[in-house]
C-alpha cells in the first residue's frame, strides 16, 4: 500500500505550481489534504495591489491537485508509479467561491469520489479555511491514466 506522503512525491507538479503540503487521510472513496498559501506566491503580485487575494483559479487548482490527482494516484494503486508514468487532464469544473483566501492562510481540501470508471474520476470537493469556514465547493472531473498500460 502506498504511504500517504508518498502520494505527494508522485505528483507531476513542483514549486511554484505545487499546492499540496500534506495529505491527512486517503481511502478508496475520499481524501483530505492541506496547503498553506505562502506570502510570496507568484500570483499575489498584482492580484490585488493593496490586499492580495488568492485567485479562484488557484483555489480550483489546489482542490484539483488534492481532490483529483492525489486521490487518482491512490486509486491507480500507484506503488510503482512515477510522475512520468501517468497523465492527468482536468475535464470539467463547477465551483462556487464563498470566501476569500489571503496569504499565509492554510486551507483544507476534502474530496469525496462520485465515480471512477474508465480512468475518469469525478469528485465533490470542499475547501475550508483555518476557522473551518467553507471557502469554496464544487464538482471536478478529470482523466487519470497510467501511461504504462
Active site residue 47: yes
**65 falls in which pLDDT band (50, 70, 90)?**
very high
Dig out the grid coordinates for 40 from the structure.
Answer: 510570496
List the CATH number of the domain containing 54.
3.10.129.10
CA angle 12/33/11 to nearest 5° reads 10
CA distance 23 to 49: 32
3-state secondary structure of 143: strand
> Which cell numbers hold the place of 85?
508514468
Residue range of the domain that includes 35: 4-146
The fraction of the chain above a pLDDT of 90, given in percent, is 74
Active-site position among 22, 47, 126, 137: 47
Name the residue with higher pLDDT: 81 or 103.
Answer: 103
Give the model's pLDDT for residue 36.
98
Is 80 exceeded by the pLDDT of residue 80? no
- The total of structural domains in the chain comes to 1
| Cα 120 from Cα 85, distance rounded (Å) | 17
- Closest listed residue to residue 64, CA positions, set 2, 123, 3, 133: 123
Query: What is the Cα–Cα distance from 142 to 148, expressed in whole angstroms?
Result: 18
- Is the whole model's pTM more than 0.95, yes or no? no
Mean pLDDT of the chain: 91
Amino acid at each position: 500500500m502506498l504511504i500517504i506522503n508518498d502520494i505527494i512525491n508522485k505528483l507531476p507538479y513542483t514549486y511554484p505550481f505545487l499546492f499540496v503540503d500534506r495529505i491527512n487521510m486517503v481511502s478508496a472513496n475520499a481524501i483530505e489534504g492541506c496547503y498553506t498559501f505562502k506570502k510570496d506566491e507568484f500570483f499575489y503580485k498584482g492580484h490585488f495591489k493593496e490586499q492580495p487575494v488568492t485567485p479562484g483559479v488557484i483555489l480550483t487548482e489546489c482542490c484539483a491537485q488534492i481532490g483529483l490527482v492525489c486521490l487518482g494516484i491512490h486509486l491507480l494503486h500507484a506503488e510503482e508509479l512515477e510522475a512520468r508514468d501517468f497523465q492527468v487532464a482536468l475535464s470539467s469544473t463547477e465551483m462556487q467561491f464563498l470566501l476569500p483566501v489571503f496569504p499565509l492562510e492554510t486551507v483544507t481540501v476534502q474530496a469525496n469520489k462520485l465515480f471512477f470508471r474508465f480512468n475518469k474520476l469525478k469528485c465533490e470537493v470542499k475547501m475550508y479555511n483555518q476557522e473551518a469556514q467553507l471557502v469554496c465547493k464544487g464538482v471536478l472531473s478529470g482523466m487519470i491514466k497510467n501511461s504504462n498500460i
